[in-house]
Chains A and B, each alone.
Chain A
Amino acid sequence: MPKSVLIVGGGLSGTIVANGLCRQLAEEMRTGAVAVTMIGTSETHMYQPGLLYIPFGRMREQELFRDQRRVLDRRVNFFVDPAATIDVETKQVTTESGRVFTYDYLVLATGSRIMPQTIPGMTEAGHWFYDLEGARKLRDALNAFQGGRIVVNVNAPHKCPVAPLEVTFMLYDFLKARGLWDKTELTYTYPIGRLHALEPVAHWAQPEFDRIGVKYETFFNTESVDPATKVIKSMEGSEIAFDLLITIPPHAGAPVIEASNLGKGGWVPTNSRTLRREGSDNVFVVGDTTNIPISKAGSTAHFEADVLIDNLVSLIQEGRWARDYDGKVFCFVETGLGAGTYVWFNYTTPPNPGPPSQMIHWFKLAYNRLYWLSARGLL
Chain B
Amino acid sequence: MAERQTIDARGSFCPGPLMELIAALKLAQIGDEIEVLSSDKGSVTDVPAWVAKVGHAYVGTTEHDGYWAVVVRKAK
B contact residues around A373 at 8 Å (CB): none
Does A295 contact B14, Cβ atoms closer than 8 Å?
yes
| Cα of A236 to Cα of B8 in the assembled complex, Å | 25
Of all chain A residues, which has the CB nearest B3?
A: A264
Q: Is the CB of A293 within 8 A of B27?
A: no
In chain B, what residue has the closest Cβ to A200? B13
A198 near B27: Cβ-Cβ < 8 Å: no
Say whether A329 contacts B54, CB under 8 Å.
no
Contacts of A118 in B (CB 8 A): 26
Q: Are A192 and B12 in contact (CB under 8 A)?
A: no
Does chain A have a CB within 8 A of B31?
Answer: no
A197 contacts across to B, CB distance below 8 A: 13-16, 19
Q: Is the CB of B50 within 8 A of A219?
A: yes
Tell me, yes or no, whether B46 is within 8 Å of chain A by CB. Answer: yes
A116-153 CB mask vs B (1 if < 8 Å, else 0) is 00100000000000000000000000000000000000
- Are A156 and B14 interface neighbours, CB within 8 A? no
CB of A265 within 8 A of chain B?
A: yes
B69 CB, nearest partner CB in chain A, Å: 14
User: Does A2 sit at the interface, judged by CB under 8 A?
Assistant: no
In contact, A156 and B12 (Cβ under 8 angstroms) = no
CA distance A343 to B25 in the complex (A): 28
Cα A157 to Cα B26 with chains together (Å): 9
- Contact check, B54 vs A236: say whether CB atoms are below 8 A apart: yes
Cβ-defined contact, A293 with B22, below 8 A: no
Do the beta carbons of B27 and A345 come within 8 Å of each other?
Answer: no
How far, in angstroms, from A191 to B17 measured CA to CA in the complex? 12
How far, in whole Å, are A157 and B17 apart by their CA atoms in the complex? 12
Does B53 make an interface contact (CB < 8 A)?
yes
Known contacts A221-B54, A264-B27; A295 and B11 CB within 8 A of each other: no
Q: Are A351 and B13 in contact (CB under 8 A)?
A: yes
State whether A235 touches B54 (Cβ < 8 A).
Answer: yes
Cβ contact within 8 Å between A345 and B14:
yes
Interface residues on B, range: 20 to 34
Docked-complex contact B19 and A157, CB < 8 angstroms: yes
Q: Report the Cα distance A348→B12, complex, angstroms.
A: 9
Q: Which of A150-185 contact B (CB under 8 A)?
A: 156-157, 161
Q: Are A156 and B11 in contact (CB under 8 A)?
A: no
**CB-based contact A192/B18 at 8 Å:** yes
Q: Chain A residues with Cβ under 8 A from B50's Cβ?
A: 192-193, 219
Are the C-beta atoms of A192 and B27 separated by less than 8 Å? no
> Which residues on the B side are within 8 Å of A264 (C-beta)?
27
A32 contacts partner chain B, Cβ-Cβ < 8 Å: no
A347 interface residue (CB < 8 Å to B):
yes
Are A193 and B14 in contact (CB-based, < 8 A)?
no
Known: A192-B46, A193-B46, A236-B54. A156 touches B13 (CB 8 A): no
Residues on B with C-beta less than 8 A from A272 are 8
Tell me, in angstroms, the Cα distance from A351 to B15 when the chains sit together: 12
The smallest C-beta distance from A272 to any residue of chain B, in angstroms, reads 8
Q: Which residues of A contact B7 (CB under 8 A)?
A: 293
Are A156's CB and B23's CB within 8 A? yes
Report the Cα distance A193→B43, complex, angstroms.
11
Asked if residues A295 and B15 are in contact (CB atoms below 8 Å), the reply is: yes
Nearest A residue (CB) for B20: A293
What residues of chain A lie closer than 8 Å to B23, measured between beta carbons?
Answer: 156-157, 250, 265
Partner-B contacts on A (CB < 8 A): 118, 156-157, 161, 191-193, 197-199, 219, 221, 235-237, 250, 264-265, 272, 293-295, 327, 329, 345, 347-348, 350-351
Q: What residues of chain B have their CB less than 8 Å away from a CB belonging to chain A? A: 7-9, 11-20, 22-23, 26-27, 46, 49-50, 53-55
**Sample of 7 more A-B contacts, CB < 8 Å, known A192-B16, A293-B9:** A156-B26, A197-B13, A198-B13, A293-B15, A345-B14, A350-B13, A351-B14
